[in-house]
Structure 1
Amino acid sequence: MALSKIERKYRIRKRIRKVSSGTAERPRLSVFRSNSEIYVQVIDDRKGETLAAASSRDKDLAKAKGTKKEVATLVGKAIAEKCSKAGIEKVAFDRGGNLYHGRVKALAEGAREAGLKF
């Protein structure tokens, strides 16, 4: 029997996390996408701490009007700005089991535009 969408997503997520790990030099940029919101964190897995975070529910971005993809681009720019303030230039992109398409792709492109390197 075929896997459901959710089972497939969690299987991909486990496979990605086996090989990708965030360090102090190159932390992991983790994306979580719900039906209505998008969240992103920059994580140092060795210390087990979140270095920066942004989401579409932040006060600045919650007022933003537009499509979900446009808001995701703004979230990508916001996380890149927070990373630059924290002195982070390079990250390892963790799409969290989502396809690199739509809002996840828009977030990544927004972060790249703002100067973050994957």
Structure 2
Amino acid sequence: MIQDPLSSTFAALADPTRRAILERLLEGEASVGELAEPFAMTVRAISKHVAVLEAAGLVVRGRDAQRRPSRIRAEPLAAVDHWLETYRGLWNARFDRLNERLKTKEKHDDSNKGKRVRRE
């Protein structure tokens, strides 16, 4: 099954281990062995995670003598950010409306302070 790039990116980001690998790669390139160090996983398991990230275009692997360092690619993340921009506008509008409602409620509550409430 062929997925569009955005779906591949989201699928790759769905796993917390892969997100942690990307976070580590923000510090600079690293080999699979170096990426595996903080995890209670085998190097082979981390290699599979890196392969998923590579298939999604989030990581590229180079060759440096015997070492195959991985490094992060930002382009797929920029596509996610672009996609989210529409929703960011939606949420900002909702937060603005909520803020106005809270201000109105606060004014209403302030104007009712000190007024005696009748109980029957």
Report if TM-score (shorter chain) is over 0.5.
no
Q: Which has the higher strand share?
A: 1
Q: TM-score scaled by structure 2?
A: 0.28
Relative CO higher for 1 or 2, CA cutoff 8 Å, sep ≥ 6?
Answer: 1
Q: TM-score scaled by structure 1?
A: 0.29
